[in-house]
Amino acid sequence: MSKKSYVGPSGRKRRLKRAIFFAVISFLLIIGGIAAGGYFFIQSALEPVNKSDNTPVQVNIPIGSSLSVIAEKLEKKGIVKNAEVFKYYVKYKGEDNLQAGEYSFTPSMTMDELIKSLKTGKVIGQGQVKITIPEGYQLTQIAEVIGKETGRPASEVLKVMNDRVFIKEMMQTYPELLTEEVFAKNIRYPLEGYLYPATYHYGDKKKPVREIVEDMLEKTDHVLAQYRTSMAAKQMTTHKLLTLSSLIEEEATAKADRHKISSVFYNRLAAGMPLQTDPTVLYALGKHKKRVLYEDLKVNSPYNTYKVKGLTPGPIGNSGVSSMEAALNPEKTDYLYFLASPAGDVYYAKTLEEHSKLKEKYITSHYEKQKQ
């Protein structure tokens, strides 16, 4: 072996140290570059979107909106550059109690100006138009509320809600919320169950119906975002979740345990039994009344769960968070039946015999006493 090709122990150590040195320097440069890049990114995100643009942009913040919802809405409207940066800046400043309402912002506003406005609740036309949609409302009822508060015929509002072109546009805007399932066979109203129950404020009655409906869709989309991981694990689509939660919403009373009601539906579906839930019969009939009669159960409709097994083609109304959570997380029970007494108490049974006894005790006897 020649002297030129031989590398002694000291030579190998020098080369190893040199390689380690360059590796450390390279790592520090990379980290430094990332840190510097991150610093400049955050600095840029904290700046106004456009300091010279004073074009008014109306932003509606529904009651109950979380900071994440508000931040994402501001980014979507082009009022802040980055929703996450805005959210963490608000937390860093220790600000809370951001107010609902319809605001007029501009792309030139700083984050501090936005926070001040949202915190003091300086909205345009404050209190002029307030649209409150309760849980369990059907699309026709929502159309009536919007029509009443904005001075429009309910039929005009419903026409916008059912506009296929408009719905297609919303499907592109909210692809995780609205899918082709809303146009499935036998669906009565594509947006039934998709308009979130909340209170929405607007500056005047001239607010386009399309924008009001989109605000409600956006709210639903934000609410469902927290459940999408669980939905994926259960292989449950948005349409199926909203359908099941609407049944739970309609059956639940103030005293009801929604998770237990959900378990009954899950158990009956697993056993291949029809759900036999009265609200679906009323939806099929297009009526609102306190008591379902035996003759009502005969109605031929894909929404009549006394005649058709499985879920209804789509939701039969909207639903709140508690019903959505119950639809995703049913209690583990062996119950196959339940009924609600006129007093609102809910009773559960594992067998038809047990259920019949409960019905006689809490339902039949009650109405017989009324006849006397």
Indicate whether 160 pLDDT > 80: yes
Q: In a 10 Å sphere around its CB, with 0-12 CB exposed, 13-18 middle and 19+ buried, how is residue 73 labelled?
A: buried
How far apart are alpha carbons 170 and 370 in whole angstroms? 50
Please indicate, yes or no, whether residues 366 and 242 belong to a single structural domain of this protein. yes
Query: Is 248 contained in some domain?
Result: yes
- Whether residue 28 is predicted with pLDDT greater than 70 in this model: the reply is no
Question: 248 is written with which tokens?
Answer: 């739970």
Q: What H or E segment, with its residue span, contains residue 338?
A: strand 337-340
Residue 97's pLDDT band (cuts 50, 70, 90) = confident
Residues paired with residue 348 on neighbouring β-strands, in sequence order: 338
Last residue of a domain, one of 178, 204, 225: 225
pLDDT of residue 371: 63
Other C-beta atoms within 10 Å of 72: how many? 21
Cβ(308)–Cβ(238) below 8 Å: no
What's the chain's length in residues?
Answer: 372
Would residue 107 count as lying in a domain?
Answer: yes
Enter the tokens of residue 137: 């409302």
Q: 249 near 319, Cβ under 8 Å?
A: yes
pLDDT over 90, % of the chain:
55
Q: Is 90 helix (H, G, I), strand (E, B) or coil?
A: helix
Confidence (pLDDT) at 101: 80
Indicate whether 35 belongs to any domain.
Answer: no
Q: Which residue has the tokens 């090709």?
A: 5
Q: Which residues fall within 8 angstroms of residue 300, CB to CB, at 6 or more apart? A: 307
Last residue of a domain, one of 102, 120, 138: 120
d(Cα 79, Cα 108) in Å, to the nearest integer? 8
Q: What is the mean pLDDT of the chain?
A: 87
pLDDT, residue 2, reads 41
Question: What residues make up the domain containing 285?
Answer: 236-371
Look at 81-95, 181-195, 218-232 and tell me which has the smallest mean pLDDT: 81-95
**pLDDT tens track for 253-279:** 776 789 999 999 999 999 999 999 999
Considering the domain architecture, whether residues 135 and 115 belong to the same structural domain is answered as: no
Q: Is residue 32 part of a domain?
A: no
Identify the domain boundary among 192, 225, 258.
225
Q: Looking at the structure, do residues 348 and 272 belong to the same domain, yes or no?
A: yes
Residue 5: is its pLDDT beyond 80?
no
Q: Which two tokens stand for residue 204?
A: 């005047």
Rounded CA-CA distance 17/9 in Å is: 12
Residue 336, both tokens: 């196959």
| C-alpha span between 105 and 304 (Å, rounded) | 48
Q: What is the C-alpha to C-alpha distance for residues 268 and 261, in angstroms, rounded to an integer? A: 11
In the predicted model, is pLDDT for residue 80 greater than 80?
yes
Q: 342 and 278 share a domain? A: yes
H-helix segments, the chain: 9-46, 67-76, 83-93, 111-120, 139-150, 154-161, 164-173, 209-225, 228-233, 238-251, 258-270, 278-285, 321-328, 352-359, 365-371
Question: 284 and 306 in one domain?
Answer: yes
Which two structure tokens, joined as six digits, stand for 17? Answer: 């140290």
346 vs 218: CA distance, rounded Å: 34
Regarding whether 220 and 332 lie in a shared domain, the answer is: no
pTM above 0.85, yes or no: no
Asked whether residue 79 is assigned to any structural domain, the reply reads: yes
- If asked whether residues 177 and 295 sit together in one domain, one would say no
Each residue of 123-157: pLDDT tens digit? Answer: 665 557 889 999 999 999 999 999 999 999 999 99
Q: What is the per-residue pLDDT for 182?
A: 97
Residue 18 lies in a domain: no
Residue 86: give its domain's CATH number.
Answer: 3.30.1490.480
Same domain, 217 and 249: no
Confidence at 344, pLDDT banded by 50, 70, 90: confident
- 265 and 166 inside one domain: no
Instruction: Count the domains in the chain.
Output: 3
How far is the C-alpha of 277 from the C-alpha of 295, rounded, in Å? 15
38 found inside a domain: no
Q: Are residues 116 and 191 in the same domain?
A: no
Specify whether 110 is located in the same domain as 135: no
HSE (side-chain half, CA atoms, 13 Å) at 351 = 3
Same domain, 82 and 138: no
Say if 309 falls within a structural domain.
Answer: yes
pLDDT band at 288 (very low <50, low <70, confident <90, very high): confident
